[in-house]
Amino acid sequence: MSMNRRDFLARSGQLTLGIGALALLPGKTARAQANADVKNAELVTVTQQSAVLTWESENPTEGIVSYGLSENGLDYQVVDPAGPTRFHRVEIQGLEPGQTVFYDIQANGESAEPNEYSPGSFTTLTPPKGTHLFTFATITDMHVGLMSAGAVGGISSFVPVECPLDDPTCWQVGNQAVIDAINKTASDFTLVKGDLSHEYQQGQFEQARSFLEQLKSPYYVVRGNHDRIGDQPEDYFKKVFGLEATHYAFSHKGVRFVVLDSSNLETGIQEVSQEQWVWLEQQIETLGDEKLILVLHHAVTEEASIIFTLFTEDQQRLFSMLKYENNLIGILSGHSHRNIVTHQPELDEVPCIETSSTVHYPGGYNLYHVYTGGFMQTYHKIGGNDWRIWEEAGRAMYKGDAQKILFGSLADRNFSYRFKKSIPEPEPDETGTGCGCQTASDSGSLALGAAALAAGKLIGGSS
């Protein structure tokens, strides 16, 4: 199937991408940045206690972010720890849940105007009620071996962008940075949501495994369309990762993760085998009190682009099986290389989540913080000078629309989702103090937290 760029954007829901971010700044309209020393400013991550901003400049400059609790009260500053540089990353820390913070990016004494992706304010996430049970990470579309990015099958008008790095090259830099970053988190395990290889070759699977084996916690792989057998003599994906079957399930602290193989073994097109449908029904019937997270490479909703989602017959069969399944709390996919959350009426308000590739702009990984009453998703973009060079080049993908298509709105990347029915609270441990995890609060402070005061420099005084 071929379609032009406008059709692609319309069908993928990206013509109006970013409205959620604009809504965070009442009374203001996104404007072009007047400060030439600040370009591609993005409010990347918002958690319950922090926020991360990135931007670029033509020449090395010192990066400063002023922030506070009102638009006219930006009383604190954070300076980019990298010093004068072209590629900036600043983190505001020590905030309170549910707190609205205003900020201003500055370079060479001038401020950057707010824009669609850096609106000038944000509200920190409020975690779900209950006890924090565990955290897991997801990555997707490692595409080991990929040397250019931005070509979409059937869309001839999209010219790929070539990797500007030699040794290590882009796919090596991106994937290694993601592994190193996840190892600094407290994640219990990592889900790898397909397309580990670019050309389904044994050597590429082995290289992907060499990255993943550096993780300090377990990982679980999902077959993607680029991980098919194709014309290879055997199923190298299955062989290299030692899988008895490419559909499987595992349980962790009250949640069952059910992994499907949604790729035709010869062509890679979206297809779920009859064997898996029978098996999935058995998994659903035996859930008991466990929550269900479904994991597969392809998207599932009608709202998702027809390029990336299951075909109608498989969609309807899946919706029929899950329609009255109150234990379903999320469906996790890759494939589209974009950050977006869609919904399906039959699945009520359950988030169906697609996330960006590790191998090109915007890069990164996601963390899921699971509580007895829900979960929070936070998105984390990787850094490093080599990666930022590739990130900057990658913005030219899709005729310059990579940011609109792939980055997603702030609410697509970072959000809190509450379960209709909570997971039972864990039994107290031997000390009688419970699991030792955090208990969430619904209320945020009306003032900046003490940690923020310590992290940020008070303008005109000391903190």
Show Cβ contacts of residue 33 under 8 Å, excluding neighbours closer than 6 positions: 39, 41, 112, 113, 115
- Strand (E) positions, 296-426? 328-333, 340-342, 352-354, 365-371, 374-380, 415-418
Amino acid found at 100: T
**What is the torsional sign of CA 8, 9, 10, 13?**
positive
Any alpha helices (H) in 123-235, and if so which ranges? 170-182, 202-212
pTM of the predicted protein model: 0.88
Tokens of 371: 């509580």
Q: Are 410 and 21 in contact (CB under 8 A)?
A: yes
Among candidate residues 74, 55, 183, 54, the one with its CA nearest the CA of residue 121: 74
Any alpha helices (H) in 134-225, and if so which ranges? 170-182, 202-212
Instruction: Count the neighbouring beta carbons within 10 Å of the beta carbon of residue 398.
Output: 26
Residue that the structure tokens 């597969």 belong to: 296
- Dihedral (C-alpha) 273, 275, 277, 281: value to the nearest 10 degrees? -170
Residues 387 and 237: their CA atoms lie apart, in Å, by 27
Q: Output the tens digit of pLDDT for each of the chain's 463 residues.
A: 333 333 333 333 332 223 223 222 333 333 344 566 899 999 999 999 999 999 999 899 999 999 999 999 999 999 999 999 999 999 999 999 999 999 999 988 888 999 999 999 999 999 999 999 999 999 999 999 999 998 876 555 688 999 999 999 999 999 999 999 999 999 999 999 999 999 999 999 999 999 999 999 999 999 999 999 999 999 999 999 999 999 999 999 999 999 999 999 999 999 999 999 999 999 999 999 999 999 999 999 999 999 899 999 999 999 999 998 899 999 999 999 999 999 999 999 999 999 999 999 999 999 999 999 999 999 999 999 999 999 999 999 999 999 999 999 999 999 999 999 999 998 876 544 444 445 444 333 344 554 554 456 665 443 3
The per-residue pLDDT for 159 is 87
Residues 107 and 455: their CA atoms lie apart, in Å, by 20
Q: Are 414 and 47 in contact (CB under 8 A)?
A: yes
Tokens of 406: 């792939």
Q: What is the Cβ-side half-sphere exposure of residue 462, based on CA atoms within 13 angstroms?
A: 0
The structural domains of the chain, with segments of one domain joined by +, span 31-126+448-458, 132-418
Query: Pairing mode, if any, of strands 85-92 and 51-61?
Result: antiparallel
The per-residue pLDDT for 427 is 83
Q: Are 262 and 226 in contact (CB under 8 A)?
A: no
| Top-tier CATH class for 132-418 | alpha beta
Domain 31-126+448-458 adopts which CATH fold?
A: Immunoglobulin-like (2.60.40)
Residues 228 and 216: their CA atoms lie apart, in Å, by 28
Residues 444 and 442: their CA atoms lie apart, in Å, by 7
Query: Pairing mode, if any, of strands 190-192 and 219-221?
Result: parallel
The per-residue pLDDT for 109 is 80
Amino acid found at 276: Q
The per-residue pLDDT for 156 is 54
With b for 16 or more beta-carbon neighbours within 10 A and e for fewer, the 352-362 pattern comes to bbbbbbbbbbb
Residues 192 and 189: their CA atoms lie apart, in Å, by 10
Angstrom CA distances, 1 to 106, 155, 264, stand at: 46, 8, 17
Same fold, 31-126+448-458 and 132-418: no
Angstrom CA distances, 352 to 1, 47, 128, 339, 349, stand at: 25, 20, 18, 11, 9
The per-residue pLDDT for 37 is 82
Any alpha helices (H) in 286-427, and if so which ranges? 312-322, 385-394, 397-400, 402, 410-413
Q: Are 334 and 357 in contact (CB under 8 A)?
A: yes
Tokens of 396: 């030219």
Show Cβ contacts of residue 285 under 8 Å, excluding neighbours closer than 6 positions: none
Residues 382 and 356: their CA atoms lie apart, in Å, by 12
